[in-house]
Amino acid sequence: MKFYKPLLILLILLQGIISWSQVNHATDNYLQISPRIGYDFPSYHNNTPYIDYNGGLEAGISVDYYWNWIGVGIDVDYIKNSPETTYPTDGLIDFDGSAFNSFNVTEDGITRLFYGIGPNFQYRNANRNFSAEFNSRVGLASIKGGRVSHEGSTANSTNVPLNFHAGYDVGMP
Q: What's residue 122's pLDDT?
A: 92
* Residue 138 confidence (pLDDT): 97
Ranges under pLDDT 70 in the chain: 1-4, 13-26, 173
pLDDT of residue 140: 96
Domain that holds residue 55: 4-170
Question: Which residues, listed in sequence order, are joined to residue 153 by a DSSP beta bridge?
Answer: 102, 159
pLDDT at 100: 85
Q: What is the pLDDT of residue 25?
A: 53
Q: What is the pLDDT of residue 22?
A: 52
In total, how many domains does the chain have? 1
CB under 8 Å to 16, separation ≥6 — which residues?
none
pTM of the predicted model as reported, rounded to 2 decimal places: 0.74
Residues 6 or more apart from 80 whose CB is under 8 A from it? 40, 56, 57, 58, 109, 110, 111, 112
